[in-house]
Structure 1
Amino acid sequence: MSTEYNYDEQGQFFPFFFVTVAGLVTLPVTYSLLKPSKDLENTATRIESSYTPEHADLIDGHRRRQKRRERKLKRMVVAGVGWATIALMVYLMAVTQRSTPKIWDPYEILGVPMSSTEKQIQSRYRRLSVTMHPDKAVPDPAKNETADSVNERWVEVIKAYKALTDEDVRRNFIEYGNPDGKQSTSFGIALPQFLITDGNGKYILLVYGALLGILLPYFVGSWWYGSQKVTREKILVNSAGNMFKEFSERIDDHGVVNLVSAGAEFEALLHGHKADAGTGQLEKRLLQEARVMTEKDRRFLQDMDDTVRRKTLALLWAYLARVELDDQTLNDEKYQLAPTALTLNEAFVSVCLAYGFTNPVLASYRTSQNLIQAVAPESPPLLQLPHFNEQVVKALEEQVGQRSHLTIQAFMDLSEARRREIATSVGLSRPQLDSAISVASQLPRLVIERTFFKVTGEKHIIPNSLVQFVVKARFIPPGTRNIPDIHPSDLEDIDPDETDTKANARPDPAEQKQHQPPLAHAPHFSRDHSPRWHLFLADARQGKVAVPPFTFTTFDKPILDASGKPTFNVQTLKMQFQAPPQPAQYKFQMHLACDSYIGFDDKRDVILAVEDPSSIEEAEWEDEDISEPEEDTIAGQMATLRGSATKKATSPKLKGNDDDSDEESGTDEEEETESETDTDTDTDEE
């Protein structure tokens, strides 16, 4: 049997090839587009507010551009082209299937099944001869039949009849699909004919050379070097290097802002003519605002030689202080830089943890709050509320008689009449105050109710054990009245019983649904941001981080009900670490910091008591001695089998009559001795 290869000259197979190739690319891309986004910013609710900040059009423009980037436009184009290609190939398949000649089948021509006997075939042939013989069949003009077509059709019937009545011919057809026996095998290669047409070979080689020798290495190299240029925190390696160079264990909030400006990412945002355009005007405007920067910050800015970084730093300070700039382009750029600065600041936490100092970590968390709320370091927290500016807050604090900055909680704790009286005196209208109070009453303030250490399944904490630090807290918005009491069981963290198979089984993912707080109310920040809470333990004496931060973005119980009101559910936050190797009482300082709101952080001292295992065992042995069962009871017999200690049985006679004679007592003692001997003997035999 010979084999013949052809290159699909009739275009019968190459659509299958293109459908396969297009499907390998299109299906994964389509899945990535249709897969629901798990980004926190795309799944959270929003805090209701009618407040519109100044330059809202610029801020919304940056948000829309970010949304367009998140829509993955390139993938949408690839998926569209892929599905169009698949549709075209399916159409070609249908067309070529209709035009492709069918394989000659005598059974189909005679209209009999393959299981028919020779007698059945002869009977069928005779019936067909009555209607299809050329002497009896009349051409049908409606079907465009002619005498020649009738003759050809009858010839096919005769040929089929002979093929099925001749044993050799019929066997050849059944075994080989052809009445003449074995034939050469033909393979249709699924490529269009133009690919193998004479003269096109050199072009095909050029295409393959470009694909395999140029494009493939380019994309692989771009992916590889691109991944090498970015750290795990999604910032450029150069930016991380600059942060390590300028890190200081005494860095404060102002220093973090100056450090963040060293990010190499800003060079891509302020490239070309943007690098120094308007820098002089910007610095002049900043220097006029005495409240914006300290003298140290001013010197740091003026001594800087890098034009891109100098403009970046000036724009960041203008954004944090909400300085109005005369140039609309500069206003647009200051809102554009803030999200990049936040990303760099979040990566700076990793740098701080590499050194282990507490103050830089806290300064970085406070800087995140400042960037999200567009509030300069050490500025009043009330600037987070709508319609509150520097002048209003300053006058308000003077009215209250507050020496330090008034927090949102303290302002909301004032009576409603007092708030309205103060607001009117400082120039706030009633609708403006109502808008501010509405936002403040929706802010997710996490209030700690209880903290404790524990080891799962154990009563004591011993050296090197796996300890859990448990925080019980509730979301209580500022100014909330009539807060419900906490049930004592909600403040406990009870381990499931080892015999409870349901509790120890893997929980259903549907029952493990996590609940997310609303997006941060940040009208000046040109991105949607989901709040994050960072919990860590520090050694206050050494100023070092003892247990690295655990970050919480979702919680195990609903925060708001269906109507949007607080549920006041007790949330459980846990962080796990290894206990110190020596028994002692360890004093830690717990820090709970929210990255989105100023003034919602918590700090308190906690004590971890690590006990000596030997002292625990002695205490347990004493407890066991007190509770030793009598040997003649069932519990005593079970304890004897385990090898545990038991009490000697007390004679009923001795218990019942204290005035018995010595003779009776001696008898009892003998019986008791015999009993003991029997018990010992039984034990030895066992």
Structure 2
Amino acid sequence: MSTDYTYDEQGQFFPFFILTLAGLVTLPLTYNLLKPSKELENTAPRIRSGFKPEHEDLIEAQKRKRLRKERRIKRIVTVVLGYGIMAYMAYLIVVTARATPKIWDPYEILGVARSANEKAISKHYKRLSLIYHPDKIRPDPAKNETIEMLNDRFVELTKAYKALTDEEVRNNYLQYGHPDGKQSFSIGIALPQFIVTDGNGKYVLLVYGALLGVLLPYIVGKWWYGSQRYTKERVYVATAGNIFREYKDDITDGGIISALSSGDELKETIPPQKAESGLAKLEKKVLAEDAKFISDQDREVIKGLDDSSRRKALALLWAYLGRVELDDSTLNGEKYEVAPIALSLNEAFTAISLAFGSLRPLLGSFRTSQSIIQAVAPGSSPLLQLPYFTNEVVQSVEGADAKNHFTIQKLMKMSEDKRRSLTVGAGLLSENQYTAAISVAKQLPVLQISKAFFKVMGEKVITPSSLVQLVVKARFVPPGSTNVPDVNPTDLEDIDPEEGDLDALMGRGPSRNRSVKFADGQNKGDKIQPPLAHAPYLARDHSPRWNIFLADGKQGKIAVPPFTFTTFDKPLFDESEKPTYNVQTLKMQFQAPPQVGDFPFVMHVVCDSYLGLDSKLDINLHIDDPAKAAALEEEDDISEPDEDSIAGQMQALKTGQPPKKAKKPVHDSSDDESNTDGDEGDTSDTNTETDVDD
């Protein structure tokens, strides 16, 4: 048996081959582009506001520019090209004639019915022999017949006759499908033959060399080095190195902004050829003597930079934070372009701060995030977050000689008449502007802590090195809220999950007993998102994050790194868009210290999107001796039988005296301080109320 190779001369199968390859690339890319985005910014509601910043068109243009980058134009082009190729291959499949392989059939060759018996077949064959025997027939020139063709035809008739009458030949036909037995094995190749014909080999070799030796290594190398180029915060490794060199334990908020300007992403946005354009005009505006939003130290930093790209990037950042009008559409556009980039770079600075474990830089990074999102310079009044509020309005509210800035909460605590008299008037706000500003203030998500305590799941005390939970009970109370209901004491309890509820025990979902929310989006139940940050000057949408962490106040160090919360387990607003004041349960797990004793911490709750909404409180972690835990367990196991139980009745028959009624267990003060039960009566004796800044 031999093997024959046949090529697709008519292009019957080649389109199927190309269609399959194109589909393997195009269809997954299509799914990737069309699948619903899971990013928080694409699913969160928005704060109702009709405020339009001065350069709304430039900000929207920058948003569209960022969206074009995020949509991966190259993938879209690849998908369109892929569908074009697939459509053309489908067209070729439809219009190309099909040459189906012919099966050797003796009945068809002889022209007899399959029901004919051997006698009828022999009679029909003899009749055909008289007609088609080479000695009886002559070639017909009109049909282009030759002697060889006539001989071949008679041979096929003879083979067909023997296949139906001769036992040995018939066995070959039945077993192999041909009277001659096994035939040559034909392999069809879905390529036109011209590709492998003599003279074309060098071109085929060249194509294979380009695909396998150039294109494939380029794609793999680009993917590999591209993935190695970024950190897990999605910033360049080189940028992280630059920011790391700028880091100091005593760095100021202005120093953090200066450190962010060293990012290579900003240098790509402002290359050297664009750096000098408008730089002098920009610095004249930013470094003006009446520019109070920037300190003298930060002015000197700008002046001391030799790298024109970084110098311009830093000046643009300060112009954005100070809301400086640059009187140039190009410069204003660049001002709004650098802010979202700096916000992304700030995540790298946060990661570096966590690595060093110092409290001051970490808080500075969160404040920098707030400043960039709200376009408010460090140290400026939080009231500038409200629509239409300017420095003149802020000065009218706070007073010219005010040492401390007002928070939005403090402003909203004023009486309506006093607040209106300070903000509405000539050179201040109009009635419509005032109404819009107050409307936004009443929608801000202020997280107020109702209770915070430590516990170990399923245990009464906290022992050294155990897996301890920090449970925070809090609710959202927007500024200016009235008739806020008191917290229901039952909402402040924390009931352990059932023993078989593995998802809740492992922190993967809500408990069957009570819905809880774990850090970092681990809750698999319904997720309630707060509204997107009201940030009209930021050229991107941002969903607020709440960071909760423990610090050692005396040493200024981070004791437990931040746990980030982006969604919550209960609705923040009802159907009429009024606050629900639902108590949210937030849990963080970490390992307890290995020593016995009391460990005082400062718990920080920081929102990365708004200024003045942060809170902190002192909280105490009490670690008990393991022997005490064992004693408590033994006390629970060996308890006096109750008089109403069968064991109690049996004891009465034996002793002749009724058993004493079971008394409620009395825990000492150390048990109460540990808060391991999570009940209202077993809460820590530390102050768990938030410190509200007035």
Say yes or no: TM over 0.5: yes
Give distance in 1, aligned partners of 2:216 and 2:202. 20
SS state at 1:98 partner:
coil
Q: Following TM superposition, by how much is the alpha carbon of 1:59 offset from its aligned partner in structure 2, in angstroms?
A: 0.6
Give distance in 2, aligned partners of 1:107 and 1:635. 99
Pair 1:379 & 2:380 matched: yes
SS state at 1:585 partner:
strand
Partner of 1:464: 465
1:536 maps to a residue whose letter is F
Give distance in 2, aligned partners of 1:276 and 1:310. 10
Structure 2 contact 448–477 (Cα < 8 Å) conserved: yes
Write out aligned runs for 1:484-503 (5 A).
484-498=485-499
Partner of 1:302: 303
2:371 maps to a residue whose letter is N
Partner of 1:192: 192
Partner of 1:670: none
Partner of 2:344: 343
Give distance in 2, aligned partners of 1:421 and 1:121. 120
Give distance in 1, aligned partners of 2:313 and 2:502. 59
Do the aligned partners of residues 620 and 627 (structure 1) sit closer, same or farther apart at CA in structure 2, a change above 3 Å counting?
farther
Report Cα offsets for 1:551-591 as digits up to 9, x if no partner.
Answer: 11111222233443333222111111111111111100000
SS state at 1:627 partner:
coil
Q: Following TM superposition, by how much is the alpha carbon of 1:623 offset from its aligned partner in structure 2, in angstroms?
A: 6.3
Pair 1:554 & 2:553 matched: no
Do the aligned partners of residues 566 and 192 (structure 1) sit closer, same or farther apart at CA in structure 2, a change above 3 Å counting?
farther
2:304 maps to a residue whose letter is D
Q: Following TM superposition, by how much is the alpha carbon of 1:616 offset from its aligned partner in structure 2, in angstroms?
A: 3.5
TM-score (norm 1): 0.82
Do the aligned partners of residues 22 and 629 (structure 1) sit closer, same or farther apart at CA in structure 2, a change above 3 Å counting?
same
Structure 2 contact 382–407 (Cα < 8 Å) conserved: yes
Partner of 1:273: 273
Do the aligned partners of residues 393 and 498 (structure 1) sit closer, same or farther apart at CA in structure 2, a change above 3 Å counting?
same
Do the aligned partners of residues 106 and 393 (structure 1) sit closer, same or farther apart at CA in structure 2, a change above 3 Å counting?
farther
Partner of 2:425: 425
Give distance in 2, aligned partners of 1:157 and 1:217. 56
Structure 1 contact 408–599 (Cα < 8 Å) conserved: yes
Partner of 2:626: 613
Structure 1 contact 106–163 (Cα < 8 Å) conserved: no
Structure 2 contact 173–181 (Cα < 8 Å) conserved: yes
SS state at 1:483 partner:
coil
Q: Percent identity?
A: 54
Report Cα offsets for 1:437-479 as digits up to 9, x if no partner.
Answer: 1211222221111111111111110110000101111122211
1:540 maps to a residue whose letter is G
Report Cα offsets for 1:286-344 as digits up to 9, x if no partner.
Answer: 22233021111112221222211111111111110001112221111111100111111
Q: Following TM superposition, by how much is the alpha carbon of 1:502 offset from its aligned partner in structure 2, in angstroms?
A: 10
The one of 549, 556, 560 aligned to 1:543: 556
Do the aligned partners of residues 496 and 103 (structure 1) sit closer, same or farther apart at CA in structure 2, a change above 3 Å counting?
same
Structure 1 contact 112–121 (Cα < 8 Å) conserved: no
Partner of 2:481: 480
Partner of 1:520: 533
| Number of residue-to-residue matches in the alignment | 619
Partner of 2:672: none
Structure 1 contact 121–161 (Cα < 8 Å) conserved: no
Write out aligned runs for 1:518-597 (5 A).
518-597=531-610
1:483 maps to a residue whose letter is V
Partner of 2:72: 72
Do the aligned partners of residues 74 and 325 (structure 1) sit closer, same or farther apart at CA in structure 2, a change above 3 Å counting?
same
Do the aligned partners of residues 100 and 362 (structure 1) sit closer, same or farther apart at CA in structure 2, a change above 3 Å counting?
same
State which drifts further: 81-90 or 54-63: 81-90
Structure with greater Cα Rg: 1
2:498 maps to a residue whose letter is D
1:235 maps to a residue whose letter is V
Give distance in 1, aligned partners of 2:73 and 2:351. 32
Q: Following TM superposition, by how much is the alpha carbon of 1:415 offset from its aligned partner in structure 2, in angstroms?
A: 2.9
Structure 1 contact 450–471 (Cα < 8 Å) conserved: yes
Structure 1 contact 6–187 (Cα < 8 Å) conserved: yes
Partner of 2:21: 21
Give distance in 1, aligned partners of 2:9 and 2:591. 72
SS state at 1:467 partner:
strand
Write out aligned runs for 1:214-229 (5 A).
214-229=214-229
Report Cα offsets for 1:514-535 as digits up to 9, x if no partner.
Answer: 1211111101001111111111
Structure 2 contact 641–647 (Cα < 8 Å) conserved: no
Give distance in 2, aligned partners of 1:112 and 1:415. 108
1:449 maps to a residue whose letter is S
SS state at 1:245 partner:
helix
Do the aligned partners of residues 528 and 107 (structure 1) sit closer, same or farther apart at CA in structure 2, a change above 3 Å counting?
farther
1:528 maps to a residue whose letter is D
Partner of 2:9: 9
Partner of 2:366: 365
Q: Following TM superposition, by how much is the alpha carbon of 1:159 offset from its aligned partner in structure 2, in angstroms?
A: 9.0
Do the aligned partners of residues 82 and 323 (structure 1) sit closer, same or farther apart at CA in structure 2, a change above 3 Å counting?
same
SS state at 2:616 partner:
strand
Partner of 2:165: 166
Structure 1 contact 109–160 (Cα < 8 Å) conserved: no
Write out aligned runs for 1:395-434 (5 A).
395-398=396-399, 403-425=403-425, 427-434=428-435
Higher helix share goes to which structure?
1
State which drifts further: 619-628 or 310-319: 619-628
Report Cα offsets for 1:106-125 as digits up to 9, x if no partner.
Answer: 56789999xx65449969x9
Q: Following TM superposition, by how much is the alpha carbon of 1:196 offset from its aligned partner in structure 2, in angstroms?
A: 1.4
Q: Following TM superposition, by how much is the alpha carbon of 1:624 offset from its aligned partner in structure 2, in angstroms?
A: 6.1
TM-score (norm 2): 0.81
Structure 1 contact 457–495 (Cα < 8 Å) conserved: yes
2:578 maps to a residue whose letter is K
Give distance in 1, aligned partners of 2:474 and 2:283. 45
State which drifts further: 556-565 or 259-268: 556-565
SS state at 2:424 partner:
helix
SS state at 1:546 partner:
strand
Give distance in 2, aligned partners of 1:502 and 1:411. 44
Write out aligned runs for 1:115-264 (5 A).
118-119=116-117, 162=161, 165-168=164-167, 171-264=171-264
Do the aligned partners of residues 282 and 186 (structure 1) sit closer, same or farther apart at CA in structure 2, a change above 3 Å counting?
same
Structure 1 contact 474–568 (Cα < 8 Å) conserved: yes
Q: Structure 1: which 5+ residue stretches go unaligned?
A: 134-145, 638-646, 656-686
Do the aligned partners of residues 429 and 492 (structure 1) sit closer, same or farther apart at CA in structure 2, a change above 3 Å counting?
same
Report Cα offsets for 1:589-637 as digits up to 9, x if no partner.
Answer: 000111111111111111111111223434555666662689x974799
Partner of 1:667: none
SS state at 1:425 partner:
coil
Report Cα offsets for 1:71-108 as digits up to 9, x if no partner.
Answer: 22221221222223223323333444535464454567
Structure 1 contact 590–606 (Cα < 8 Å) conserved: yes
Give distance in 2, aligned partners of 1:122 and 1:514. 82
Give distance in 1, aligned partners of 2:403 and 2:119. 112
Do the aligned partners of residues 542 and 648 (structure 1) sit closer, same or farther apart at CA in structure 2, a change above 3 Å counting?
farther
Partner of 1:682: none
1:310 maps to a residue whose letter is R
1:78 maps to a residue whose letter is T
Give distance in 1, aligned partners of 2:654 and 2:490. 43
Write out aligned runs for 1:318-337 (5 A).
318-337=319-338
Q: Structure 2: which 5+ residue stretches go unaligned?
A: 132-142, 511-521, 659-694
Partner of 1:316: 317
SS state at 2:273 partner:
helix
Structure 2 contact 563–588 (Cα < 8 Å) conserved: yes
Q: Following TM superposition, by how much is the alpha carbon of 1:486 offset from its aligned partner in structure 2, in angstroms?
A: 2.8
